[in-house]
């Protein structure tokens, strides 16, 4: 379909876990490769009960956005690799600070084996959501 960059918010068919079928949902690109694959974290309208996540609001977007009436949640513990051809569309692009916050919460190095875009330094006061 196209070439995507870290921080792009796309629509793609992704399952949130191994028990559910894929569903078209927003995903945040956290890594790209020369062969056209992207590593993404899915976005959910509900925070997970058993995994860490970060809230995502309209303030996190540098351009575009999601049709949000409230917060959505980036599932930082779930990383999926997609081919560019699986992407349905692009919804927007996150701010460098929001991308840095998300990438910093992904286990095992968010961009492992992938190229990364330069990160913008900065600190965030966002807190991770997790339910015990």
The secondary structure of residue 117, as a DSSP letter, is P
Structure confidence by residue, pLDDT tens digits, 44-102: 988 888 888 999 999 999 999 988 677 899 999 899 999 999 999 999 999 999 999 99
- Both structure tokens of 23: 């569903």
Given a contact cutoff of 8 angstroms between Cβ atoms, the answer to whether 34 and 114 are in contact is no
CB atoms within 10 A of CB 15: 14
What CATH number is given for 8-105 in this structure? 2.30.30.110
Distance between CA 118 and CA 37 in Å, rounded?
19
Structure confidence by residue, pLDDT tens digits, 44-54: 988 888 888 99
Distance between CA 1 and CA 49 in Å, rounded?
34
Distance between CA 30 and CA 76 in Å, rounded?
10
This model's pTM is above 0.75: yes
């Amino acid at each position: 379909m196209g070439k995507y960059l870290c921080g792009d918010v796309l629509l793609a068919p992704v399952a949130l876990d191994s028990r559910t079928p894929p569903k078209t949902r927003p995903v945040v690109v956290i890594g790209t490769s020369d062969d056209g694959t992207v590593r993404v974290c899915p976005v959910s309208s509900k925070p997970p009960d058993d995994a860490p996540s970060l809230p995502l609001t309209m303030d996190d977007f540098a351009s575009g956005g999601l049709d949000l009436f409230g917060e959505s949640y980036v599932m930082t513990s779930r990383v999926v690799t997609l081919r560019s051809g699986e992407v349905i569309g692009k919804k927007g692009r996150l701010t460098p600070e929001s991308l840095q916050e998300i990438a910093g919460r992904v286990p095992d190095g968010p961009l492992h084996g992938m190229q990364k875009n330069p990160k913008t330094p900065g600190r965030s006061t966002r807190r991770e959501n997790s339910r015990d």
